[in-house]
Amino acid sequence: MKHIRKKEKPLIVLTAGGTGGHVYPAEALAEELMKRGYRLALITDSRGKNNYKGNLAEIPNYAVCAGAVMGKSKWFKVKSLFKTCIGILQAGFFILKYRPVCVVGFGGYASFPAAMAAILLGRDLIIHEQNSVMSRTNRFLAKYAELTALSFPDTKYVPQNRRVVLCGMPIRQTIANLLQASYPERTVAQKFQLMILGGSQGAKVFGEVMPQAIMLLPEAVQKKLRIFQQCRDCDVKALELAYKSCKAEVQVKHFFGNMAELYAGTHLIVSRAGASSVTEIAAAGVPSILVPLPTAADDHQTYNAAELSKANAAMVIRQKDFTAEKVAELLMNFMKNPKDLKKMSDRARKSAINDAAQRLAKTIEKDIIARW
């Protein structure tokens, strides 16, 4: 009997900028699509090529020219426009040569050339918007995309009369699995675990305020604290020095590789309100104090934070009001009222979408691959 060769699954191109907010959902979708047997490639710029870890490092990476234009001088914008045009040609050559069934864009200026090339060459483009305020780049691309996937239900500036689906924000599976966990209970002997996440920009204000806030607490309370703080690599030594005199157990790093484990044992998080952070915090069921980045484009972090605030799962503080005195007072109140934290944890989990990668992959299969 003649052997019938199984048809090879098509190639899907992912394209994303270099920051965690764009990379993490691309990484999560790559993991899911690899499970389903699809061939994948990543198009990014020279900063990202071969610098990724995990699943994105396992697939072919291609670098194209790209340039940012927001908030720069006119000459810089002209150079960026030229680089972007070159990048569109480079990405177009890749698409013509390898003929992917679709391109999935996760935002960031490095993703624009591949997304634009897909539009010009008539390839299906899927846009994933991470934030609750659609970026200006995605607002433009979504007008021509076959499909726009949203992370939040009330996303602003979504183009009218275009196909839109709510998929949620794809997150790492190890963290998505925490939705089934329970909030960590404390005994008298156990320490209160506090995690401080500065996001991709490190949140310098956290490094200034948090050590001061801890030092305002009574020594007996300090001794009950275990603190994990993420900051910029260049700030690690200075932050360790700032905590030197406090009685809490403190660990400062630029990157924590065991985030799922840390989330599982954390009683309270102080964090920026990037889309990845907000989604992971909700899935892990961790009560939070969110301090949106005031310079975020279109103030999107404030809108991201509002998603958990509306669910009474988080407290939102504007950066100008984020003082050592206020934080110390909040920490004392939270540590005295574990039942309130437990309620916040339950509400966070109820608001979470922990299968976003599966939803997005299924939508791509149903709406795009099925027509291939």
Pair 150, 204 in one domain:
no
CA angle 234, 240, 244 (to 5 degrees): 155
**Is 1 domain-assigned?**
no
Predicted confidence at residue 2, as pLDDT, reads 46
Where does 36-133 have alpha helices with state H?
55-58, 74-98, 112-120
Q: Does 6 fall in a domain?
A: no
Asked if residue 46 belongs to a domain, the reply is: yes
Tell me what pLDDT residue 142 has.
Answer: 95
Q: What is the pLDDT of residue 1?
A: 40
Looking at the structure, tell me whether residues 123 and 220 fall in a common domain: no
pLDDT of residue 46: 79
Residues 6+ apart with CB under 8 A from 134: 142, 155, 156, 157, 158
Same domain, 206 and 57: no
Determine phi and psi for 225, rounding to 5 degrees. Answer: -100, 140
Residues 6+ apart with CB under 8 A from 68: 80, 109
Using alpha carbons, list the distances in angstroms from residue 226 to 72, 247, 289. Answer: 42, 10, 17
Q: What domain count does the chain have?
A: 2
Q: Are 124 and 273 in a shared domain? A: no
Are residue 127 and residue 231 in the same domain, yes or no?
no
In a domain, 265, yes or no: yes
Number of CB atoms found within 10 A of residue 261's CB? 12
26 and 52 within one domain: yes
Domain coverage including residue 290: 176-351
Collect all residues with Cβ–Cβ distance below 8 Å to 313 and sequence separation of at least 6: 282, 287, 288, 344, 345, 347, 348, 351
- How many residues belong to the chain? 372
Residue 3 lies in a domain: no
What lies within 8 Å, CB to CB, of 329 at 6+ separation is: none
CB 101 within 8 A of CB 13: no
- Residue 355 has, within 13 A of its CA and on its CB side, a CA count of 5
Residue 5 maps to a domain:
no
Q: Give the pLDDT of residue 76.
A: 84
184 and 328 together in one domain: yes
Over the chain (372 residues), what is each successive 10-residue block's mean pLDDT?
62 86 89 96 80 82 86 83 96 98 94 97 97 92 96 93 94 92 85 91 87 97 97 93 96 93 97 94 97 93 96 97 98 95 97 95 93 78
Residues 90 and 66 in one domain: yes
- In this prediction, residue 5 carries a pLDDT of 47
| Residue 2 resides in a domain | no
Q: Are 233 and 258 in a shared domain? A: yes
> Does one domain contain both 366 and 285?
no
Residue 54: the pLDDT is 79
State the DSSP code for 109: G
Pairwise CA distance, residues 143 & 133, whole Å:
16
Q: What is the CATH number of the domain that holds 358?
A: 3.40.50.2000
Q: Which residues of 72-109 are buried (b: 16+ CB within 10 A; e: fewer)?
A: eeeeeeeebeebbeebbebbbebbeeeebbbbbbbbbb
Does a structural domain hold residue 167? yes
CA 172, CA 180: separation in Å to the nearest integer?
A: 15
Residues 49 and 130 in one domain: yes
- 367 and 335 assigned to the same domain: no
